[in-house]
């Protein structure tokens, strides 16, 4: 899996996890608010047309704005699967 594919997989998992927390409509709406990410109605990322690290950071920022530290805590297990991807803190 190349780097872009890893970011897509990670972002898909984050959207899935947030769908459980926030509901699928809100999770997808927030993901679509990130410029450069193409998201289907089902919450799957089909493309990232910008720097994937920037897109990931923007996505997390959007979710954190909505529900704060709960989002960060919920994502720890997801990030553990992608040790080569570092998130700016």
Asked if pLDDT for residue 89 goes beyond 60, the answer is no
DSSP annotation of 23: -
The mean per-residue pLDDT over the stretch 22-45 comes to 95
- Determine phi and psi for 48, rounding to 5 degrees: -125, 115
Structural domain span for residue 66 = 3-79
pLDDT at residue 35 in the model: 94
Q: Is the pLDDT of residue 12 over 90?
A: yes
| Mean pLDDT for the stretch of residues 39-57 | 96
Residue 71 inside a domain? The answer is yes
pTM summary value: 0.78
pLDDT of residue 64: 85
Count Cβ atoms below 10 Å from residue 33 Cβ, excluding itself: 13
The reply to whether 38 falls in a domain is: yes
Tally the domains of the chain.
Answer: 1
């Amino acid at each position: 899996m190349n780097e872009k594919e890893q970011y897509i997989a990670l972002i898909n998992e984050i959207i899935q996890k947030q769908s459980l927390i926030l509901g699928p409509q809100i999770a997808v709406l927030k993901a679509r608010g990130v410029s450069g990410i193409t998201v289907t109605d089902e919450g799957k990322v089909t493309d990232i047309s910008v720097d994937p690290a920037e897109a990931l950071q923007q996505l997390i920022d959007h979710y954190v704005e909505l529900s704060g530290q709960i989002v960060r805590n919920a994502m720890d297990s997801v990030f553990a699967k992608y040790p080569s991807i570092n998130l700016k803190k």
